[in-house]
Amino acid sequence: MSSTLAVPGTYPTIRDALEVAPDGAVVAIAAGTYRERIELRGRRLTLRGTGEPGAAAVDAAGLDGPALAVLGGAVTVEGLALTSGEHPAIAVSGARLTVRKCRVSAGAAAGLQVTDMSTVEAAEVRVLGGRHGLVFSDAGGTVEGCEIRDVHDDGVIVRLGADPAIRDTVVAGCGFRGIYVYQSGRPLIERCDVSGAGDAGIVVAGGGAPRIAGTWVHQTAGSGIVVGPGCTAVVERCRVEGTAEPGVVVDPRARATVTLTGSGPAPRTGIAEAGAGQDAAEVDRLLTELDSMIGLAGVKNEVRALIDEIQVNEWRRGAGLAVGTASHHLIFTGAPGTGKTTVARVYGRLLKALGVLPDGRFREVSRRDLVGQYIGHTAEKTTSVFEEAMGGVLFIDEAYTLSRAAATGADFGQEAIDTLVKLMEDHRDRVAVIVAGYTREMLDFLDANSGLASRFAKTMEFEDYGPDELVLIATRIARNDDYVFAPGLAEALHEHFSRIERDRNFGNAREARKLLEGMRKAQSGRLRALGRMPGREELATLVREDLLAALR
């Protein structure tokens, strides 16, 4: 049974409670205002406001950082009000966060910022004020029954390949765009209400590829929905009214299907009618996206070979020729930060575009999501998770942890493996299971059940990034955030990445991302010390001094 720590009953501040809280604990926060910040690194905790939702308020306005920062781990937050000033109210990096019935506001930043392959499950969250409402960057999850109102800029931003599902959510009164999808963002926007935007309601740019279904866009200063060049979009059963004309704009160089209700005929320019079976244009787009990833030459070739085989099998089936049964389950081996999760997401969407799976949904789980606490509980949990992933990809990270503890008889990890083996065979045409982890440990995992290895079509090895590739990754991340490197900085980064110790804890792309974050902080301190307002070029430029400061 989890322990409960009461604030301010037993502990005067939230920070005091967190210092002694064991993993799995619940921190119960009574009504009142707490002028402090919460920073959780690699923790597994629940923060729960008691009483009415929002009665317990964490106010970090004027403090140096987010009201809540979740850096790794798995955290649940319920019933709190969170306020910040110059920083996001909630910032999530490389973590899992469940946030329910919370009220969020920020001054000059986002209400909720999700980055670095995080997963967020948000329900009944109200973002009332801030520069942006929700920002998903290289991350995923679900947003259900939420509300974003009266933010200064964009209400929702989805970028850098992020793929959240946003459902039954209101986005109203935003100063600029209601929802902005760019840099290959791929959200599902379903049954949402977007209104009162200072510009367009929903804008798709920079290779974005959303699916927008059953959504009402109305009373916007700009057009209702705008799809830019090079983008792919599915707009179905949407209503667009009371917006600037034309209500829907699709660039001739975009690929989109549009069906509207209650707002006149759909626009024709740039629209490609959807067809049954395979979506060749989407397959090509996704393969181009895969090719744009840095490194991973062997993995890219393996994925292309699989896609070629699947595509030809579908053609053979259509021609009445025999097609053997095929498994779409894969094993990804390699160190952290080598792109396994990103490739798994692309693979799922490729299977959807090829007509192999009904949708490209992506469900990422770990040991704790599968293993129960008593006999029979594990099979129940594993089956439930599997059913939730049906039609898409079930991605099991660090899968070897299921067999490691089970071998000692300490828990029910073996039961999870045995259940998975049966489900993978029974439903191989309806789901793709991808297991991932360190190379050596994954060999032990496959030995845990005699039928496990045969369930997988292929093993793909994700090699560590070299110094050249890590510099390219850092450069790309910086460019996406409007930073540039001063002359000599790329060479200094290369020297650092050439010298850094590469043990099993080396984070690859995460190492580059973490170092860049340190450089940005160092730049902030350097510019603040100038005693004057820096110019635009100074604000955008990172220098060698910032790298040295970050390394110190």
Q: How far apart are CA 245 and CA 223, in angstroms?
A: 6
Highest mean pLDDT among 102-106, 314-318, 474-478, 533-537: 102-106
Indicate if the pLDDT at residue 520 is higher than 50: yes
Rounded to an integer, the average pLDDT of 494-521 is 83
Number of Cβ within a 10 Å radius of residue 265: 8
Q: Is residue 66 within 8 Å of residue 90, measured between CB atoms? A: yes
Q: Is residue 224 within 8 Å of residue 243, measured between CB atoms? A: yes
- DSSP class of residue 454? G
- Greater confidence, 147 or 358? 147
In the chain, where are the structural domains located?
70-260, 280-462, 467-551
How much is the mean pLDDT over the chain? Answer: 87
* Whole-number pLDDT of residue 308: 86
Per-residue pLDDT reduced to its tens digit, 216-274:
999 999 999 999 988 999 999 999 999 999 999 999 888 898 988 864 444 434 333 33
Per-residue pLDDT reduced to its tens digit, 164-177:
999 999 999 999 99
- DSSP class of residue 408? T
* Whole-number pLDDT of residue 455: 84
Same fold, 280-462 and 467-551: no
Number of Cβ within a 10 Å radius of residue 160: 21
Find the largest Cα–Cα distance for the chain.
Answer: 76
Q: How far apart are CA 138 and CA 92, in angstroms?
A: 11
- Integer angstrom CA distances of residue 81 from 54, 128, 434: 4, 11, 38
* Whole-number pLDDT of residue 264: 42
* Whole-number pLDDT of residue 404: 56
* Whole-number pLDDT of residue 407: 43
Q: What is the pTM of this model?
A: 0.53
**Closest to 509 measured CA to CA, from 474, 485, 462, 483:** 474
Q: Is residue 88 within 8 Å of residue 113, measured between CB atoms? A: yes
- Integer angstrom CA distances of residue 222 from 131, 144, 150, 196, 197: 19, 26, 17, 10, 8
* Whole-number pLDDT of residue 277: 57
Residues of the chain with pLDDT > 70: what percent? 93
Q: Helices 467-480 and 489-499 sit at what angle, rounded to 10 degrees?
A: 130
Number of Cβ within a 10 Å radius of residue 427: 15
With H, G, I as helix, E, B as strand and everything else as coil, classify residue 87: coil
- CA–chain centroid gap for 103, Å, is 22
Number of Cβ within a 10 Å radius of residue 365: 20
Cα dihedral angle (99, 101, 104, 110), rounded to 10 degrees? 40
| 3-class SS letters over 316-351 | HHHCCCCCCCCCCCEEEEECCCCCHHHHHHHHHHHH
Confidence of residue 403 (pLDDT cuts 50, 70, 90): confident
Confidence of residue 186 (pLDDT cuts 50, 70, 90): very high
Could you tell me the end-to-end alpha-carbon distance of the chain, in angstroms, rounded to an integer? 42
* Whole-number pLDDT of residue 323: 67
Q: Please tell me the class of the 280-462 domain.
A: alpha beta
* Whole-number pLDDT of residue 411: 60
Q: How far apart are CA 426 and CA 420, in angstroms?
A: 10
- Greater confidence, 267 or 162? 162
Confidence of residue 402 (pLDDT cuts 50, 70, 90): confident
Q: Is residue 443 within 8 Å of residue 478, measured between CB atoms? A: no
Q: Is residue 173 within 8 Å of residue 150, measured between CB atoms? A: yes
Q: Is residue 89 within 8 Å of residue 59, measured between CB atoms? A: no
How many H helices and E strands in the chain?
A: 14, 36
Q: Is residue 346 within 8 Å of residue 289, measured between CB atoms? A: yes
CA angle (164, 168, 169) in 5-degree steps: 75
Confidence of residue 512 (pLDDT cuts 50, 70, 90): confident
Q: Is residue 461 within 8 Å of residue 333, measured between CB atoms? A: yes
Can you name the residues that pair with 57 across neighbouring β-strands? 33, 81
Burial class (CB in 10 A: 0-12, 13-18, 19+), 387: middle
Sign for the CA dihedral angle at 496, 117, 522, 154 comes to: positive
With H, G, I as helix, E, B as strand and everything else as coil, classify residue 282: helix
Q: How far apart are CA 512 and CA 494, in angstroms?
A: 11
Indicate if the pLDDT at residue 152 is higher than 60: yes
* Whole-number pLDDT of residue 369: 87
Question: Lowest-pLDDT range, 410-424, 451-465, 515-529?
Answer: 410-424
Q: Is residue 80 within 8 Å of residue 57, measured between CB atoms? A: yes
Please check whether the domain covering 467-551 is classified as CATH 1.10.8.60.
yes
Confidence of residue 180 (pLDDT cuts 50, 70, 90): very high
Alpha helices (runs of H) in 264-296, residue ranges in sequence order: 280-292
* Whole-number pLDDT of residue 433: 92
Altogether, the residues listed in the chain come to a count of: 552
Backbone angles phi, psi at 518, to 5 degrees: -65, -35
* Whole-number pLDDT of residue 464: 84
Q: Which residues contact 443 (CB under 8 A, 6 or more apart)?
A: none
Can you name the residues that pair with 127 across neighbouring β-strands? 104, 148
Per-residue pLDDT reduced to its tens digit, 11-69:
999 999 999 999 999 999 999 999 999 999 999 999 999 989 899 999 999 899 999 99
Per-residue pLDDT reduced to its tens digit, 427-458:
777 889 999 888 888 888 888 777 788 888 88
Hunting for tokens 């804890």 — which residue is that? 505
* Whole-number pLDDT of residue 267: 43
* Whole-number pLDDT of residue 265: 40
Retrieve residue 405's tokens: 């503890």
